[in-house]
Amino acid sequence: MVRFIALRLLQAIPVLFVVISATFFLVRQAPGGPFDAEKPVIPAVKRALEAKYNLDQSLWQQYLSYMGDLLQGDLGPSFKYPGWAVQDLIGSGFPVTAELGIYALLIALLIGTTAGVLAALKPNSAQDYVPMSVAMIGICMPTFLLGPLLVLVFGIWLEWLPISGWGDLPGDKILPSITLGAAYAAYVARLSRGGMLEVLSQDYIRTARAKGLPEHVVVLKHALRGGLVPVVAYLGPAFAGLLSGSFVVETIFQIPGLGRFYVQAAFNRDYTMILGTTIFLSTLIVLFNLLSDVIATWMNPRLRDGLRGGSQ
């Protein structure tokens, strides 16, 4: 197992190198620069700005000096918010996005697995159709529609919950977490239904039932572990997606998270911020994919044994 993890981590290095280099050169190909504005600065000021941020050097020189700084852990100052280093901004945005992502994931798992398991227990009945139809709506309904709808009902009509901010007013984390979690809950529901259906038709479940175990023991103890393997495999990419894809929810609810920084950085041509967040998020995605592979292997005896056999 250790060798498996070490190998995967080694493989990640060239992947990250390619991602960083490609991003560096691609963002420079986009028209417009960080200092372009409707009211342009006078040429002398623009030259001074470009000198300050080394933009007057050749692209290769800039690339080499960026990679040099990166190896020392320095992501440089943001172009849009030059008073802050990119790592400061990531440091302020990531905990917020991570917290939002965790809540959303918990909501997705809670709602998704419950609905999926219930549906799988009585396939092709109302107990199946109703939650699965709701799940389908959940998949189809974009967050930019669901978010404002929830705000309208719970924030403005009922006045139950705050509609913006993060950790400023009691309960302001609820609506964004539900909004972000809903779409993932729908996926989780479909995945766990599929997984459970497959497992419930296996011989060992028939055996369990045959020896007279109560149904809830069969489902919760025997079926669930195998039935949720697809869900676990989905968790790594899902969490990475939650972190990098929370932009819309963060915008709707005015949350100071990483997703907003990332998208805004692209619009602003904030080169260092784009690179910094790309590096940070791609590292996370690599790690989460690895983590979910490890967990899936641990949950699936066949894979686990295969790995053990291979490493001997």
Partner 1 sequence: MARRLLIPLLLCGFLLACVGGETNVAQGNRDGVLHFGNYGEPQGLDPHVVTGVPEHHIIGALFEGLVLKNPETLAIEPGVAESWTVSDDGRIYTFKLRDNARWSNGDEITAADFEWSWWRALQPALASSYVFMYFPIKNAEAYFNRSLSNFDEVGIKAIDKKTFRVELDAPAPYFLQLLDHYALFPVHRPTVEKFGAPDESYTRWTRPENIVSNGPFLLDEWRLFKYLSVKKNPDYWDADKVKLNAIRFYPIDKQTTEERMFRAGQLHRTEEVPIDRIPWYRQNRPEVLKIAPYIGTYLYRLNTRKPHLADVRVRQALSMSVDRRRLIDTVLNGLFTPAYSVVPPGLLGYKPPDVFGFDPDKARQLLSEAGYPGGKGYPGLEIQYNTHEQHRKIAIAIQQMWREELGIDVRLQNKDWKVYLDDETTGNFDASRGGWIGDYVDPNTFMDIWTAASGVNRTGFADEEFDRLVLQIAPNAKDHETRLNTFQQAERLFLEQMPIVPLYTYSSKHLVHPGVKGLSPNYMDYYNFRYVSLEPDASGVTQD
The nearest distance, CB 163 to partner 1, in angstroms, is 5
If binding is defined by CB under 8 A, does position 42 make contact with partner 1?
Answer: yes
Stated length of the chain: 312
In angstroms, the CA 30 to CA 248 distance is 23
The nearest distance, CB 34 to partner 1, in angstroms, is 9
Residues 276-305 that bind partner 1 (CB under 8 A): none
Comparing CB distances to partner 1, the nearer of 3 and 47 is 47
For 119, other C-beta atoms within 10 Å of its C-beta total 25
Contacting residue, 44, 71, 126, 210, with partner 1 by CB under 8 A: 44
If binding is defined by CB under 8 A, does position 54 make contact with partner 1?
Answer: no
Comparing CB distances to partner 1, the nearer of 222 and 269 is 269
Contacting residue, 68, 95, 142, 171, with partner 1 by CB under 8 A: 171
Task: Identify the residue whose tokens are 């809903």.
Answer: 182
Contacting residue, 56, 69, 168, 305, with partner 1 by CB under 8 A: 168
The nearest distance, CB 2 to partner 1, in angstroms, is 28
> Two tokens at 160?
């139950």
Contacting residue, 8, 23, 70, 165, with partner 1 by CB under 8 A: 165
Q: Which stretch binds partner 1 (CB under 8 A): 202-210, 255-263, 280-288, 293-301?
A: 255-263
If binding is defined by CB under 8 A, does position 87 make contact with partner 1?
Answer: no
If binding is defined by CB under 8 A, does position 31 make contact with partner 1?
Answer: yes
The nearest distance, CB 157 to partner 1, in angstroms, is 9
If binding is defined by CB under 8 A, does position 176 make contact with partner 1?
Answer: no
Comparing CB distances to partner 1, the nearer of 154 and 288 is 154
> Two tokens at 187?
């996926």
Contacting residue, 102, 174, 284, 294, with partner 1 by CB under 8 A: 174
If binding is defined by CB under 8 A, does position 216 make contact with partner 1?
Answer: no
Comparing CB distances to partner 1, the nearer of 37 and 126 is 37
DSSP assignment of the chain: -HHHHHHHHHHHHHHHHHHHHHHHHHHHHSSS-TT--SSPPPHHHHHHHHHHTTTTS-HHHHHHHHHHHHHTT---B-SSSTTSBHHHHHHHHHHHHHHHHHHHHHHHHHHHHHHHHHHHHSTTSHHHHHHHHHHHHHHHS-HHHHHHHHIIIIIIIS--S--S-SSSSTTTTHHHHHHHHHHHHHHHHHHHHHHHHHHHTSHHHHHHHHTT--HHHIIIIIIHHHHTHHHHHHHHHHHHHHHHSTHHHHHHTT---HHHHHHHHHHHT-HHHHHHHHHHHHHHHHHHHHHHHHHHHHH-HHHHHHHHHHH-
Contacting residue, 106, 136, 149, 153, with partner 1 by CB under 8 A: 106
Residues that bind partner 1 (CB under 8 A): 30-33, 36-46, 48-49, 52, 77, 80-84, 89, 92-93, 106-107, 110, 148, 151, 155-156, 159-166, 168-172, 174, 251-254, 256, 260-261, 267-269
